[in-house]
Amino acid sequence: MEARRSLSQAVGDVVSDSLDLIQTELRLARAEASEKLGSALTLLATGGAGAILLLLGSILLMLGAVRWLAIAGLPEEWGLLLVGGIAAAAGLALVLQAKQQASADALTPKRTMSELRADVDMVKEEFR
């Protein structure tokens, strides 16, 4: 009877410890996700402000280029078409580059996933 109680107590301890471990890992995952989200929001705000200034500056530079082309003898309509086409091509190249670099991997809580895998392996070992 004592051995049976010890075995059931051991199994109960393993289950209790496993539940505690899972709760700790979930708290870690929440903390890591909050950290990643905070970083992403900061980058988004900074990037957004920079993008607005870059857009305004680019518009002024392109209008200057069109004006320069008109002074050089190219009709204004052709200057607008030329400068607009170059700007659109450059914008498309930047968007494609950003799309290629963007991934869900950057927002994945890697430490937590690694810890959870290790915990699952440990629990599996305990039940073998």
Q: What is the mean pLDDT of each run of 10 residues along the chain (128 residues)?
A: 68 81 85 83 90 92 95 94 94 88 69 77 72
**What radius of gyration do the chain's Cα atoms show?**
29
Residue 3 has a pLDDT of 58
- Count structural domains, the chain: 1
Domain coverage including residue 95: 2-126
**pLDDT of the residue at 70:** 95
- Residue for token digits 């895998």? 117
Residue type, 38: G
Element holding 120 (H helix, E strand): helix 110-126
